[in-house]
Amino acid sequence: MNKPGIVIARAVFPQVIERLAQHFEVLSNQDDNLWSPAELAAKSQGRVGLFCTASERVDAALLQACPTLRICANMAVGYNNFDLDAMTACGVLATNAPGVLTETTADFGFALLMATARRVCESEHFLRAGHWTSWRYDLFAGTDIHGSTLGILGMGRIGQGIARRGAHGFGMRVIYHNRSRLDQATEAACGASYVDKNELLAMADHLVLVLPYSAQSHHSIGTAELARMKPTATLINIARGGIVDDAALALALQQGRLAGAGLDVFEGEPAVHPGLLGASRVVLTPHIASASVPTRLAMADLAADNLIGFLVRGEALTALNPRAVATGSAPG
Ligand code: GLV
Q: Are residues 152 and 78 in the same domain?
A: no
66 in a domain, yes or no?
Answer: yes
Share of the chain above pLDDT 90, in %: 97
248 contacts: CB under 8 Å, gap ≥ 6:
219, 221, 222, 223, 226
Choose which residue among 10, 290, 296 to substitute to test ligand 1 binding: the one with the highest number of ligand atoms within 8 A of its C-beta: 290
pLDDT digits 0-9 by tens, 75-92: 999 999 999 999 999 999
The whole-number average pLDDT for the span 1-17 is: 95
The ligand 1 atom at the shortest distance from the C-alpha of residue 240 is 2
Q: Are residues 106 and 95 in the same domain?
A: no
Rounded to 5 degrees, φ, ψ at 111 are -60, -45
With cut-offs at 50, 70 and 90, classify the pLDDT of residue 326: confident
The whole-number average pLDDT for the span 47-64 is: 98
CA torsion, points 15, 21, 26, 30, in degrees to nearest 10?
Answer: 20
Specify whether the CB–CB gap between 214 and 242 falls below 8 A. Answer: no
Specify whether the CB–CB gap between 70 and 48 falls below 8 A. Answer: yes
pLDDT of residue 1: 56
Q: Are residues 226 and 265 in the same domain?
A: yes
Residue 76 CB–ligand 1 contact under 6 Å: yes
Q: Are residues 66 and 185 in the same domain?
A: no
Q: Is it the case that residue 330 has pLDDT exceeding 80? A: no
Q: Are residues 17 and 140 in the same domain?
A: no
Q: Is it the case that residue 331 has pLDDT exceeding 90? A: no
Q: Are residues 242 and 128 in the same domain?
A: yes
Residue 99 CB–ligand 1 contact under 6 Å: no
Q: Are residues 17 and 61 in the same domain?
A: yes
The whole-number average pLDDT for the span 263-286 is: 97
332 in a domain, yes or no?
Answer: no
Q: Is it the case that residue 328 has pLDDT exceeding 50? A: no
Q: Are residues 253 and 317 in the same domain?
A: no
Q: Are residues 224 and 301 in the same domain?
A: no
The whole-number average pLDDT for the span 215-227 is: 98
CA torsion, points 14, 20, 22, 28, in degrees to nearest 10?
Answer: -60
Active site residues: 240, 269, 287
The whole-number average pLDDT for the span 290-309 is: 98
17 in a domain, yes or no?
Answer: yes
Mean pLDDT, the chain, whole residue set: 96
Q: Residues 167-195, buried b or exposed e (16+ Cβ, 10 A)? A: beebebbbbbbbeeebeeeebeebbbeeb
pLDDT digits 0-9 by tens, 155-209: 999 999 999 999 999 999 999 999 999 999 999 999 999 999 999 999 999 999 9
Per-position DSSP letters for 109-154, written without gaps between them = HHHHHHHHHTTHHHHHHHHHTT---S--TTTT-----TTSEEEEE-
59 in a domain, yes or no?
Answer: yes
Maximum Cα interatomic distance, the chain, rounded to a whole number of Å: 74
pLDDT digits 0-9 by tens, 13-22: 999 999 999 9
The whole-number average pLDDT for the span 253-264 is: 97
Q: Are residues 114 and 80 in the same domain?
A: no
Q: Are residues 175 and 305 in the same domain?
A: no
Specify whether the CB–CB gap between 50 and 286 falls below 8 A. Answer: no
Find, among 298, 322, 296, 290, the residue nearest to 105 by Cα: 290
Angle, helices 120-128 vs 102-117, to 10°: value is 60
Query: Domain count of the chain?
Result: 2
Rounded to whole angstroms, the Cα distance separating 236 from 260 reads 9
Query: Could you list the residue range(s) of the whole structural domain that residue 126 is in?
Result: 102-284
pLDDT digits 0-9 by tens, 140-159: 999 999 999 999 999 999 99
Residue 104 CB–ligand 1 contact under 6 Å: no
pLDDT of residue 327: 53
CATH number of the domain bearing residue 131 = 3.40.50.720
239 in a domain, yes or no?
Answer: yes
Count of residues making up the chain: 332
Specify whether the CB–CB gap between 65 and 21 falls below 8 A. Answer: no
The ligand 1 atom at the shortest distance from the C-alpha of residue 287 is 2
With cut-offs at 50, 70 and 90, classify the pLDDT of residue 332: very low
Show which of 266, 284, 302 is a domain's final residue. 284
Q: Are residues 223 and 82 in the same domain?
A: no
